């Protein structure tokens, strides 16, 4: 059997060109794979903390009985930023030439601004100021994430995609857990400012690590005399619609992540209204549940990523949809915190599997030379997931729960969220999982996973 070092990618006329590119064949040491994923820990730490902060802060700043709706509305203000900035910056970074490489300048600038805006968010005293700093934080975060997401498709060989994606999934989940644990200090301190600043500094530290240790990989694409405005607009060219599997996978990802967000955006309200928890109970159970879920999710990532190399990406994602939907249904009818923990653990395992394998499948099917652009476009799913979850769950919570804010509202919203996992599996059905550079090629051996 041919080894990974000697297997060449078949060249199909009109398929492998400057736009499509080929995945690298040089194996990376484990240290480099970890360095490629560590920035995700910082990114998710911030948003894990912000998720709890907004659930606590926004209901305090709006009329009683309207907290769910205003939480959902807050995401709409950031929608243009979420949709436009990351893909555009990813495309620009594909063509950037600097002494630090294509991606790194944007990562450092965006992460530094994150610290500034998260301080503003933590000290906001009105609903409008909270929303304004959420928008600014989304702007700076997406400014960095778009270029950063171009690394894995351009640097990691096929045989290591499963492991690399699993590490990314693990870092995202550990980061979200870290964000939740740090922000839980606010319940003890009675103030969110210091914990939020800690999260901002944590993300900046991981950005500096990425800047120092991660190599840049392939050279920048030639602009061919085009202006930067033209390059930015090219991120949204309609040619992307020809990548049918990519589009379907983005929609599937949107549905799955929206299912997770139904829980993340409203579980504090669930604990308050369905189980009657006060600040003392939340101070104990919010970090404890997140610790259990985070550990289960992080543990699931590596085996799932490796298993996807053997059994295929799609079967693992189908399994994640089944387990995640079951977990949300369990939580919706939970009579006690112990049952909530069980359902959340199932959702954690599903999330760990999905985060590892979906990322691997996405990097398989996109054109490699434009990885910044395509991975940025894939963020549309991440950007819209919270909005879709909010549009579905927020009004249900307020309508069913009513002015009395009963626990029936969150329970009904969580049960409605199960349909999102079903839709994720439906849209995945027509995705072609074959690596983009091999599609249409004569059958031949793939690089062997190590």
DSSP string, 283-330: HHHHHHHHHHHHHHHHHHHHHHHHHHHHH-HHHHHHHHHHHHHHHHHH
What is the rounded distance in angstroms from the CA atom of residue 431 to the CA atom of residue 214?
31
pLDDT band at residue 427 using 50, 70 and 90 as cut-offs:
very high
Query: Rounded CA gap, 56 and 79, in Å?
Result: 21
Is residue 449 situated within a structural domain?
no
More confident residue, 209 or 435: 209
Residue 196 CA, distance from chain mean position: 20
In a domain, 58, yes or no: yes
| CATH at residue 278 | 1.20.1250.20
Residue 219 burial (CB < 10 Å; 0-12/13-18/19+)? exposed
Does some domain include residue 75? yes
Other beta carbons less than 10 A from residue 97's beta carbon: 11
**Structure confidence by residue, pLDDT tens digits, 268-315:** 888 988 998 887 887 788 777 777 777 888 788 888 888 888 888 999
Domain that holds residue 252: 30-218+243-436
| pLDDT, average across residues 364-382 | 74
Cβ atoms of 209 and 108 within 8 Å: the answer is no
Distances (CA, A) of 211 to 36, 39, 153, 203, 393: 10, 10, 18, 12, 39
Per-residue confidence band for 318, with pLDDT thresholds at 50, 70 and 90: very high
Average pLDDT over the chain, rounded to whole? 82
**CA 387/CA 78 separation, integer angstroms:** 10
pLDDT band at residue 369 under the 50/70/90 scheme: low
**Is residue 59 in some structural domain?**
yes
- Token pair of 218 as six digits: 């392939």
Question: CA geometry: angle at 14 spanning 12 and 15, to 5°?
Answer: 60
Question: Are residues 134 and 49 in contact, defined by beta-carbon separation less than 8 angstroms?
Answer: no
CA-angle at 274, arms to 269 and 279, nearest 5° = 55
Q: Which of 166-170, 261-265, 291-295 has the highest mean pLDDT?
A: 261-265
Higher pLDDT, 25 or 115: 115
pLDDT at 254 over 90: yes
Amino acid 423: pLDDT:
96
Q: Is residue 252 part of a domain?
A: yes
d(CA 164, CA 418) in angstroms, rounded, equals 29
How far is the C-alpha of 334 from the C-alpha of 274, rounded, in Å? 9
Residues of the chain with pLDDT > 90, as a percent, come to 29
> Within a 13 Å sphere around the CA of 139, how many CA atoms are in the beta-carbon half?
11
Q: How many domains does the chain have?
A: 1
- Going by C-alpha positions, the residue among 1, 86, 7 that lies closest to residue 446 is 7
- The two three-digit tokens of residue 224, written as one number: 């061919």
42 falls within a domain: yes
Nearest alpha carbon to residue 286 among 424, 401, 374, 179: 179
C-alpha 309/C-alpha 160 separation (Å) is 9
Looking at the domain assignment, is residue 10 inside a domain? no
Instruction: State the pLDDT confidence band at 86, using cuts at 50, 70 and 90.
Output: confident
Residue 73 lies in a domain: yes
- pLDDT confidence band for 370 (50 / 70 / 90): low
Interval 99-114 mean pLDDT: 90
- Quick check: helix, strand or coil at residue 124? coil
């Amino acid at each position: 059997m041919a080894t990974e070092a000697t297997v060449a990618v078949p060249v199909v006329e009109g398929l492998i060109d400057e736009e499509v590119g080929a995945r690298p064949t040089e194996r990376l040491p484990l240290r480099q794979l970890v360095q490629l994923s560590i920035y995700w820990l910082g990114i998710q730490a911030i948003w894990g903390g912000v998720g709890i902060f907004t659930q606590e802060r926004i209901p305090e700043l709006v009329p009683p009985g309207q907290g769910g709706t205003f939480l959902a509305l807050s995401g709409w203000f950031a929608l243009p930023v979420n949709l436009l900035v990351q893909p555009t910056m990813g495309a620009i970074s594909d063509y950037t030439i600097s002494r630090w490489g294509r991606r790194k300048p944007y990562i450092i600038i965006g992460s530094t601004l994150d610290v500034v805006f998260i301080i503003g968010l933590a000290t906001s005293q009105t609903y409008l100021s909270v929303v304004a700093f959420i928008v600014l934080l989304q702007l700076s975060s997406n400014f960095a994430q778009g270029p950063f997401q171009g690394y894995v498709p351009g640097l990691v060989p096929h045989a290591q995609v499963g492991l690399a994606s699993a590490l990314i999934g693990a870092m995202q989940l550990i980061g979200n857990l870290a964000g939740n644990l740090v922000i839980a200090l606010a319940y003890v301190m009675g103030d969110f400012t210091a914990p939020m600043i800690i999260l901002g500094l944590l993300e900046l530290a991981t950005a500096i690590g990425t800047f120092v240790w991660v190599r840049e990989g392939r050279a920048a694409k030639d602009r061919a005399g085009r202006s930067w405005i033209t390059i930015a607009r090219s991120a949204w060219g309609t040619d992307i619609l020809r990548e049918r599997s990519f589009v379907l996978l983005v929609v599937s990802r949107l549905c799955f992540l929206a299912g997770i967000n139904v829980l993340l955006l409203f579980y504090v309200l669930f604990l308050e209204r369905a189980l009657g928890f006060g600040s003392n109970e939340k101070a104990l159970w919010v970090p404890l549940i997140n610790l259990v879920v985070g550990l289960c999710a992080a543990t699931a990532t590596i085996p799932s990523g490796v298993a996807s190399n053997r059994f295929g990406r799609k079967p693992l994602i189908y399994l994640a949809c089944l387990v995640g939907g079951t977990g949300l249904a369990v939580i919706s009818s939970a009579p006690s915190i112990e049952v909530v923990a069980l359902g959340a653990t199932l959702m954690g395992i599903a999330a760990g599997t999905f985060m590892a394998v979906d990322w691997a499948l996405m990097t398989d099917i996109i054109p490699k030379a434009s990885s910044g652009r395509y991975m940025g476009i894939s963020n549309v799913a991440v950007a819209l997931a919270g909005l879709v979850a909010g549009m579905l769950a927020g009004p249900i919570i307020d309508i069913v729960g009513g002015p009395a804010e009963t626990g029936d509202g969150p329970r009904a919203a969580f049960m409605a969220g199960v349909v999102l996992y079903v839709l994720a599996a439906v849209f995945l059905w027509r995705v072609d999982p074959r690596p983009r550079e091999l599609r249409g090629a004569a059958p031949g051996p793939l690089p062997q996973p190590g």
